[in-house]
Amino acid sequence: MNTQEYIDSGVLELYAAGGLTPPEREEVERMAQQYPEVHTALDECLQTMEAYALTHAKPPRPELEDQILRKLYPAPTAPEVPQAPNGKVLPFTSSAPSLQKEKENTRWWQMAAAVLLLISAAANVYLYSSLRNTRSELVSARQSTRLYALQVNQLEHKSLQTENLLGVLRNPQTLAVQLKGVPQHPDAQATVFWNQETKEVYMDPARLPAAPQGKQYQLWALAQGKPVDAGLVRATERALVQMKAVEEAQAFAVTLEPEGGSVNPTLEEMYVMGTHSGK
């Protein structure tokens, strides 16, 4: 059995993402049990899907916790019915005043007990609500920690990309082309970085107005007067974006196009344009 071929087939990923029928799942589980390398690869897929699931995490309403936990705890056993208190036997000899005194005494104790009970009840309410707050804070803190861990990875990934970009910009072969706003959009501005050697193109769209819903900016390279699609800028991108490689261009222009881009530029929706002096 060639396990590498099996791992490469993508069936483990389908398993992790939940795309297999029960018999297919069983087959994967059998393979994982039999071959340690399949087991390892499968576990990695499953952990990745766990992390993917976590990116959707959202704490439920805090009130839900008690409601759900109450369903899970075994029902508490009914408290025993307290026996009726035995009557106190008072000796006949006890004189009326002392009985009166005892009554007063009892009343005093009763009042004191009632006050204490009230104080304790109030304290309970207060402590309980602060406990609940602490609990829900703790829940969010825990979830955040996990999410932060994921975010750190993402930042690492981003910084690696930034380093790569810096390399591109520092390269003496890279040509910076300033694209200036057309008369309808005087404030718009963008910069295209074009590596003359590798033909790679990066664009800084930061000073283009935010694209409206359903629209996207599209970069065009103008070669011999003809526009050539140089790629789309996603609405969320605000930093340097890698565009399509461009073989030849005398100028670059950016137009606003329907989402997904167009085959030919919509000239009325041109925002910025710039020519380069060449090297």
SS3 5: helix
Nearer to other proteins, 59 or 167 (CB): 59
- In the three-class reduction of DSSP (H, G, I as helix; E, B as strand; rest coil), residue 220 is classed as strand
Near other proteins by CB under 8 A: residue from 40, 54, 119, 133: 54
Least distance in Å: CB of 107 to other proteins? 42
**CB 162 to other proteins: min, Å:** 14
β-bridge pairing 201-204 and 241-242: antiparallel
Q: Is residue 65 involved in binding other proteins (CB under 8 A)?
A: yes
How open is the CA angle 63-64-67, to the nearest 5 degrees? 100
Binding characters for other proteins, 214-253, by CB under 8 A (x = yes): --------------------x-x-----------------
| Part of the chain binding other proteins (CB under 8 A), chosen from 131-139, 201-209, 218-226, 266-274 | 131-139
Q: Are 209 and 186 in contact (CB under 8 A)?
A: no
Q: How many CB atoms lie within 10 A of CB 143?
A: 14
Element (H, E) at 127: helix 96-170
Residues 146 and 57 sit within 8 Å (Cβ to Cβ) = yes
225, burial (CB in 10 Å: exposed 0-12, middle 13-18, buried 19+):
exposed
Chain residues 14-43 in contact with other proteins, contact rule CB under 8 A: 14, 16-21, 29, 43
Is residue 131 within the footprint of other proteins (CB under 8 A)? no
- By the rule CB under 8 A, 48 interacts with other proteins: yes
Q: Which stretch binds other proteins (CB under 8 A): 52-60, 166-174, 183-191, 216-224?
A: 52-60
Instruction: Convert residues 69-108 into a mask of x (bound to other proteins by CB under 8 A) and - (unbound).
Output: x-xxx-----------------------------------
Partners of residue 178 on adjacent β-strands:
191
Contact region with other proteins (CB under 8 A), list: 134-142, 188-196, 222-230, 267-275: 134-142
Q: Do the beta carbons of residue 218 and residue 203 sit within 8 Å?
A: no
Q: Which is nearer to other proteins, 136 or 275 (CB)?
A: 136
> Are 257 and 266 spatial neighbours (Cβ–Cβ below 8 Å)?
yes
Which helix (H) or strand (E) segment holds residue 202: the answer is strand 201-204
| Nearer CB in complex with other proteins: 39/276 | 39
Apex 124 CA angle, 122 and 126, nearest 5: 70
Closest CB to other proteins among residues 50, 248: 50
Tokens of 135: 């609990």
Query: Among residue numbers 140 through 199, which ones bind other proteins (CB under 8 A)?
Result: 140, 142-144, 146-148, 150-151, 153-154, 157
CB 266 within 8 Å of CB 244: no
The residues of the shown chain that bind other proteins, judged by CB under 8 A, are 8-11, 13-14, 16-21, 29, 43-61, 64-65, 67-69, 71-73, 135, 138-140, 142-144, 146-148, 150-151, 153-154, 157, 234, 236
